[in-house]
Structure 1
Amino acid sequence: MARSSIPEGRPRRSRAGAKLKTLLVLVIVLALAGAGAWYWLASELDRRIASALEAAGGGGAAILCENRQVFGFPFRLGLSCDRIAIDAPQDGLSVSAGSLRTASQIYDPGHIVAELAGPALVSAPDLPPLHLDWRLAQGSTTLWTQGLERASLVMDAPVVSLREGEGAGTPIARSQRLEAHARRNGAALDFAFTDTGVAATLPNVPPLPPFDLAADLTLDGAAGWLRTGVPGANVSEALRGEAGTIRRLALTLPGGGGADLSGPFRVSESGEISGDFRLAVSDPQSIAGLVGVLVPGTGGLATTVVGALGFVGRQEGGKTVVDVQVREGEARLGFIPLGRLPRL
C-alpha cells in the first residue's frame, strides 16, 4: 500500500513558518534598533552643536543657527538652519548668510555634504563691506579619527559686490565657477583651486580682460590647518616658516595668453620667499600687465621678466620657458637680476 506524503509535509511547513516568524522578529528588532540609534545620534548631534555655539559665545564670538533642526530619518542625518551668522567683534569680523542644510548618510556619518543659500554679508578688517551672492554653493567634508581629512567647496556664478546697506552695490568681481579642495597628506596639506571666467572691475583700475586662475600645491607641515583653521586667520602670516611645492600656479587669458609657474619653495620667518621655479609664458606682454594689477607690488618685476624672456628663454610647446631662482625675495634669471618679490 502506498505511503501518504501528507503527514511528512506538515513538519516542513511548520519549520518554514517558524523560520519566517524568526526572520520577521529579527527585522523588527533591527528596525527598532536602527530607529533608536538614529534618534540617539540626532540628539547627540543637536547637543554637540548647542555646546559648540555656547562655547563660541564664551570665547567672545556669537554664532547663530536660526530655527535649528535635525532631520533625515531613517537613512540620513542632517542639520538645517533658516539663517546663519557669525559675529566676532574682537576680530572685527561679521558674516551672515541664508539657509544652511547639511546631511550625511547614516552608514557614513563622516562624509558630510552641505548647501548654503545666499547672499552673504561680510564685514572684515581692511576690507570694505561686501555682498557675496551665487547661484549654487555646495561643500563637502570628510571626517576621520583625527578630525577633518578633506574639504571641498564649489560655487556656481559667484559675484562679489560692494555693499550698500543690506543690498548689493557695485560688482567688483564675478566668475563662472569656483572650486577649492583641500586634503591631509600625512603631515602635509594638499590644496587645489580653480576659478574660471573671472571678470574683475576694480576701483580706479582700467577694465581687465576675463581670465582663469588655477593652483595646485602642497604645504609640507600644514595638515593641522584643516582641523584648527589657518593660524591667526591670516594666510600670509601663517605661511611664514613653511615650505612646499607648487605643482601648478596658472593664469590664463581667453585669447591664448598664459603663465604657468611650478617648483619647490620656502618662506622665511620674515616673509621672504625662496625657491627654484619653472615659468612658462605665452603672450608675455598681456600677462605682465594683468599680473601687475592682480598682485600689487609685482608690476615692475613682471615687466622685467618679459624683457628678459627673449634673452634666456627656450621654446617648449609654443611657450617661452625660463628657470627663475629666488633667494630671500631676490629673483634672478641666471645672471640677470629681476628685482624683489613682495614680502608676505
Structure 2
Amino acid sequence: MKRRILVGGIAAAAAAATAPSASRRRIGISDVDRLHTRFTEVIANDHRHGGQLGIEQRATALADEALNLQNMGSATQRVRNSLYACAASFRSSAMWAAIDGRRYNDARAHMREAQVLAEMSGNQAIKFRIWSHAGTMYRHMGRPSHALAANDVARNLHITRRDPLFASLGLARQSAIHGVARDRTGTRRAFEQAQDAMLRADPADFRPVWMLAFYDQAELDSLGLSAFLALGDYQTAEFHAHRCLSALRPHMRRSLAITTTRLAHAQLAQGAVDAATVTAMSVPSDAATQHARVSRLLQKFGAALHATAPGSSTTQIWTEHHRNAWRTPA
C-alpha cells in the first residue's frame, strides 16, 4: 500500500513537472514588436550619448529579456528566430557601446554572445552588424589585420550582394581600416567603391532600424574623414569633414562631436592653428567630458597644439578653455 502511494506520488509530481504551466502563454509577433521598440530606443540613446556604460547595461538586460521569452511560452519557429535576432541585436548594441567607450574586453565578451545568437537567428543583417562592429573594434585598437579579417566576414555575407547599401558600409569601413594600415591605394579604392555602391542603393528598400538610423552620405563622409586622417591626407580629410557636418542629421550628436574633433585635427595638421582651436573648442562639453573617444581625441589635439605652437596665445586660450569649460565633475 505504501509502495503504491509512493509510486503514485512520484508519477503525479512528474506529470506536474511536464504539464504546461497555467502561467505559460503564446509568444507572438506582438512580443517581438515590443522588443523592436525597445531596440529603437537603445539606438536613439546611443546616437545622442554613445559609449555610456548605462547604454551597454540596458542593452544587455534587454538581450536577456528577449532570451527569457523563449522559455515563457509556446511560439512558432519564425517567432523564436526573431527573438534570437532581437537578443543578438541588443548584444551588438552592448558591444558597440563598449567599443565606443573603449571598454574592449567587455566588447569582446558581448561580441561572442552576439555571434552565437545571430547564428541561431539566421538573420543576415544582424550578422553583418556584429562582424562589422568587430572590424571597427580592432581598428580602434590599432590592429588593422584583425580589423580587415573581421570586416571581410561581414562583407562576404550574402546581404552585401543583395543590398548595395550594406556593401557600401562594408567598403567604407574597409577604407577606414586601410587608412590605419597606411595603405593609400586601398583607402582610396575602397572609399570610391563605397560611394558607388551607395549611389546604386534603392532608398525604398526595407532595412533594419540600426542601418536607417545612421548610414547615409554623412556617415560615409565621416568614415572617409577617419580614413584619410589616419592616412595623413589632411586636405582630403578636411573635405570629408565639412561634407559630413553639412549633411549630418540632428539626432547624430555623438557623430557631430567626433567629426568636429577630427576636423580640428585635420586643420591643425595643415598649420591652421587658430581655426583648428576654434573648431575644437566648439565641441559640446558633455561629449568632451563624458564620451571616451571624444575625450581622447581632444587630449591628443591638445598635445599636438602644444607641440605645434608652444607658448602661443592660442595655446593659452585652449589650455584655459580645457581647464574651465571641460572640467570633469569630481
Q: Assess same fold via TM > 0.5.
A: no
Pairwise TM-score range, normalised by the shorter structure: under 0.3
Q: TM-score, normalised by structure 1?
A: 0.24
Q: TM-score, normalised by structure 2?
A: 0.25
Q: Whose Rg is larger?
A: 1
Larger fraction in helix: 2
